[in-house]
Chain A
Amino acid sequence: MALKKWITVAISIAMAALVATVVLRENRGGVTRKQFVSDLQPLTIPDNGNDLRKQVNNLRKQISRLRSSKPYIVIDTHSNHLYLRTEDSIIINAICSTGSGGEVFDPTSGRKWRFETPRGIHKVESKMVDPWWRKPDWAFLEEDLPIPEDPRERLDSEMLGEYALGFGNGYFIHGTIYERLLGISVTHGCVRIGSQDLKRLYEKVKIGTEIYVF
C-alpha cells in the first residue's frame, strides 16, 4: 500500500516537472515577452483627459508620418515577389527570383561566397540601360573555369536584360535570360524579374526610392 502511495507521488512529481519544463521552456526560449516589454521605453498614461487626448493625437501624427505616400519597392524573398507599392495600393506586382542561399568556396584562396539577397532597407542607387555584367570570380569557380586575367573576358552583355537598378554592394534588380525560373530562389543575391515588369519598374522608379527586402 505504501509502495503504491510512493509510486503515485513519484509519478505526480515527474508529471509536474514535465509540465513545468515544457511551459518554462516555451516561455523562456529566445527573447521573452517580459524582456521585450522591459526593453521598451516606459509608457506613462496621463490622468488628465485633455493631456491623454493630446498625447493620443500626437502619437497618431507620428504614426501617419511613417505611412509615406511615396512609392517604395518591396521584395518578398519567401514567395519570390517584387512589388512597387504605397501604403494603400500596389502599382507593380512581379514574380521574381531571389538569392538561392547556396555557397561557393574557393579552395585555393579560402574565399567563400553565400548567395543571399540582403534583407533590410536599401535604396535605388543607380539606373542603367543595357547593362553589361562583369562576371565576378565566383561565376568562374561555379563553372569550374579558370579565373581570367583579361578583364574583357569577364564581360557579358546578355545576362542582365535590358535594364538594371543597383541597390548597393553589387546587388541589382535586373532582367534574366532564364524567365522560366522566375518564382524560384535561384540567384546569387540579385533580384531577377521578367522583361515587361522590369521595363515598367525602370520607368516608374527614381533614384533614392526605398527598397524593403524581407
Chain B
Amino acid sequence: MFSDRFSDFLLQLLIMLAVSLLTSALAIGETSKEASQVSPVSNTDHGALVDKLALDWTELQLAKRDSPYLVLNVPRSTLDVRLKGRLLARFPIEFEMSRDKLVSKIAHLKKSDTGLPVEILTSKRLYGYTKCYSDSMIKMISSVVKTNPNNIHRYKPSSFELRFGTRLVIYVKTDVKPSDRDGWKTPFDLARGTILYLFTKTRIKIRANADDALTIYRMAEPGMPILIQTIE
C-alpha cells in the first residue's frame, strides 16, 4: 500500500517535473527568440532599416496633407499619384539609365542632405507638344458650352521637365512627335536654362505614355512633393 502511494507520489512528481521542464524549455525558446531580436544588427541591415524608416515616415507625413503627392517608385518603374496614402494613378515609366546608376545617383542626392527621400517641385517646363484638338473643333465646342477656348485647349507633350530646385530634374519624354515647340523666349531664358543645367545635381530621364505624360504635366504644380522610393 505504501509502495503504491509512493509510486503514485513519484509519478505525480515526475509529471510535475516534466511539465516544469517543458515550461522552462518553452520559456528558454521564447527568450532565445527575443534574444535573437535584441542581437545587434549589422551595419548593412542598419542602413537598410534606416532607409525604410525614413521612407515610411516621410510617406506618413505626406499622407497627412490634403493635397496629392508623387511617388517615383524605382523598383516598380512607376510614377504614382497618391492622396492620403490612396493610389490615384499609376503611370508605368522606363528609366533611360541603368538601375544601378539611378540608385547611386539618388543615394548621392540623399547623402548630401537630411537623408529624407523627398523633393519639392519648383518649376516645370514644356519643350515640345502636339495639339489634341484642332482649333476649329475647340472654337465650335467653346461656342456651344460658352467657355473660354483656352480652357478646352489640350496638347500631348513630347517632352518636358519637372524641376526640383537645383537638386533634381526629372526629364520626361514620350513617343509624340512635336508639332509645336516652346522655344527659349528671351536671352535670359536661354541663360537661365544653361545655368540650371550646369548646376543641377541629379538628372533623371524617363519615358512615359503620352496620355499619362499629359496628366503628369498638368497636375504637377510648384510646391508638390515627390517621394523617391528606391526600396520596396
Residues of A within 8 A of B (CB): 18-19, 22-23, 26-27, 29-33, 36-37, 40-41, 43, 45, 49-50, 52-53, 55-56, 59-60, 62-63, 66-68, 72, 74, 76, 78-79, 85, 87, 100-102, 104, 115, 120-121, 142, 181, 184-186, 210, 212, 214
Contact = CB atoms under 8 A, between A and B. Distances in A.
Interface stretch (B14-22, B43-51, B99-107): B43-51
Contacts of A74: 88-89
Q: Which 10 A-B pairs have the closest CB atoms?
A: A66-B85, A49-B41, A102-B147, A59-B56, A78-B218, A101-B151, A100-B147, A27-B165, A78-B215, A22-B195
Contacts of A19: 195, 199
A36 B86 contact: no
B136 interface: no
A26 B122 contact: yes
Contact of A76 (B59, B88, B122): B88
A43 B54 contact: yes
Interface in B29-59: 37-41, 45-46, 49-50, 52-54, 56-59
Interface residues of B, number: 64
A212 B120 contact: no
Interface in B163-196: 163-167, 191-192, 195-196
Contacts of A36: 118, 120, 225
Contacts, number: 158
A50 B167 contact: no
Given A29-B123, A74-B88, A40 B61 contact: yes
A30 B86 CA distance: 26
B53 A37 contact: no
B218 A49 contact: no
A91 B146 CA distance: 34
A19 B196 CA distance: 9
Given A18-B195, A49-B46, A102-B146, A37 B114 contact: yes
Nearest to B88: A74
A67 B151 CA distance: 34
Contacts of A30: 120, 122, 222-223
Interface of A is mostly: mixed
Contact of A79 (B114, B133, B214): B214
Contacts of A115: 147
A43 B72 CA distance: 21
Nearest to B37: A50
B81 interface: yes
B145 A66 contact: no
B141 interface: yes
B210 to A, nearest CB: 11
Contact of B86 (A29, A49, A72, A101): A72
B164 A33 contact: yes
A76 B66 CA distance: 16
A121 to B, nearest CB: 7
Contacts of B165: 26-27, 32-33
